[in-house]
């Protein structure tokens, strides 16, 4: 089923950073849309929970060179 989550991210300072995070998330099967906002330092992700897990989203952010902050 489809779920939306927000992940706070440390280290995003320019639009190239946020594009990198979005691309990393959207490369994951099951991620339908990812929007990373510099202003709020967070990403909003629409994903299918049957295909990809919240933990995998966190890992993708960290693997892209930034730091996901666990809030939920």
Residue 13 binds ligand 9UX, judged by CB under 6 A: yes
Which of 5, 6, 8, 17 is in the footprint of ligand 9UX by CB under 6 A? 17
Residue 36 CA to its chain's centroid (Å): 7
Answer yes or no: are the C-beta atoms of 12 and 38 closer than 8 Å. Answer: yes
C-alpha pair distances (Å), 23 with each of 4, 7, 71: 17, 15, 22
| Whole-angstrom Cα Rg for the chain | 11
CB of 55 to ligand 9UX, least distance (A): 24
Of 1-9, 13-21, 31-39, 48-56, the segment contacting ligand 9UX by CB under 6 A is 13-21
Q: Which positions lie near ligand 9UX, rule CB under 6 A?
A: 13-14, 16-17
């Amino acid at each position: 089923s489809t779920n939306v989550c927000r992940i706070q991210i440390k280290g995003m300072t320019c639009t190239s950073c946020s594009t990198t995070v979005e691309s990393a998330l959207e490369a994951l099967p099951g991620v339908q849309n990812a929007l990373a906002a510099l202003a709020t330092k967070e990403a909003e992700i629409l994903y299918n929970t049957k295909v990809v897990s919240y933990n995998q989203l966190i890992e993708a952010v960290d693997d892209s060179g930034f730091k996901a902050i666990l809030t939920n």
